[in-house]
Each structure stands twice: as C-alpha cells, then as structure tokens.
Amino acid sequence: MKKFVLIISLSVLALVCGAAQEARAQGKPVLHQSKPAQGNKPSSVGDTDIDADSRHNLDVARQYFKLKKAYYAARDRCKEVIDVNPGFAKIDEILFIAGMSDFYLSNNQGKQKLDAIPEKKRLTSEEYRKEAREYLSKLVSEHPDSDFSKQAQETLRNLGGALPKSSSQ
C-alpha cells in the first residue's frame, strides 16, 4: 500500500513539474502598446485596454475629487488620461476634474494640503492656477455643450477668464 501511494505521489509530482516547465517555455506575456485612440471609438484591442484604463482612472478620480477631497490624487489620475488617451469619450469630465483640482490646490483647499505634497512634485499656487485655467479653457472651447462647461466658465471668471483657443491647446 505504501509503495502504491509513493508511486501515485511521484506521478502527480512529475505531472505538476512538467506542466510548470511547459508554462515557462511559453515566455512572458506580451503587453499591447498602442497609440491613443483618435476620436471616441477604439481601433484595436490595445485601444480598448487604454479606454478601460481611462474609465478606471476616471472612476478613481471621481472618488478622490468628490468624496475624499483629495485633489492632488484626482489631478494625477486625470493627467494620466489626458496624456495617454486625449480622445477618451469622457475627456470633458477629466478636464473638469483636473482643472477644478488645480483650482482648489491653488487655494490650498481639500484634505491634501500643499505642504504635504512632496516638494519635487509640488507646484506653486500660481502654477496650479495656470494649469487650472488651461484645463478649464480647453473644456469650454472644445466641449461647449458639456454638462461641466457652465461651472468651468464660472471658475474661469475667478482665474481671469478663458484663454484664447490657441493658448489652451
């Protein structure tokens, strides 16, 4: 009986080791790198991944912005989407959250105070105001029918008005 159990155990071990060796022989998975989608429709599988990442970043940014008042964290998530996927379907909301986060940071509002942000990542209040104005101007000029456009225009009045179209791009 002991001999039988030993043979079965060795057989199972050999199968497991063989399967692991076969899996290693396949190599590392290849991640799809692609250019950001142009427009709102993804053009390849990689673009679908980028859109999924953008949707996730937007969801997280909303949580940081609305619930936690963590404007620096919300701003970071939005900047990632702006840089990687400028054709994202909800780019108007991304621009709004990024702009308003910069505006609130320029006034040292929210739970993440400026002095708590690492110095090499921290901007001055004036630099946050400048970025807020750029994002909100882009929102107003490129997405005038957006649900966020009216509030962006109100905030822009506090920032000196919208930038001309050529300056906000």
- Average pLDDT value over all residues in the chain: 82
Instruction: Answer yes or no: is pLDDT of 101 > 90.
Output: yes
With tokens 């997280």, the residue in question is 60
How many domains, in total, are found in the chain? 1
pLDDT at 7: 76
pLDDT category, 87, cuts 50, 70, 90?
very high
- Residue 23 falls within a domain, yes or no? no
**Tell me, what CATH number does 169's domain have?**
1.25.40.10
pLDDT: is 12 or 150 the higher one?
150
Residue 109: burial class (beta carbons within 10 Å; 0-12, 13-18, 19+): middle
- Whether residue 128 is contained in a domain is answered as yes
Residue 16 resides in a domain: no
Q: Is residue 33 in some structural domain?
A: no
- 115 φ, ψ to 5°? -70, -10
Average pLDDT estimate for 6-21: 63
- On whether residue 34 sits in a domain, the answer given is no
d(CA 151, CA 156): 9
- Indicate whether 126 belongs to any domain: yes
């609305």: which residue's tokens? 66
Most distant CA pair in the chain, distance: 88
In-domain check, residue 122:
yes
Q: Which ranges in the chain belong to alpha helices (H)?
A: 2-25, 45-62, 71-84, 91-106, 125-142, 149-158
Residues 124-133, mean pLDDT to the nearest whole number: 96
Q: How far apart are CA 26 and CA 22, in angstroms?
A: 7
Q: Cα–Cα distance between 103 and 108 in angstroms, integer?
A: 9
Whole domain around residue 168: which residue ranges? Answer: 43-169
Per-residue tokens: 18 = 């063989």
Per the CB < 8 A criterion, the answer to whether 111 and 69 are in contact is yes
Span 22-76, pLDDT tens digits: 444 444 444 444 444 444 444 444 578 999 999 999 999 999 999 999 999 999 9
The C-alpha atoms of residue 82 and residue 101 are separated, in whole angstroms, by 14
Dist. CA 102–CA 41, nearest whole Å: 29
Q: How many CB atoms lie within 10 A of CB 126?
A: 9
pLDDT at position 103 over 50: yes
Does 6 reside within a domain?
Answer: no
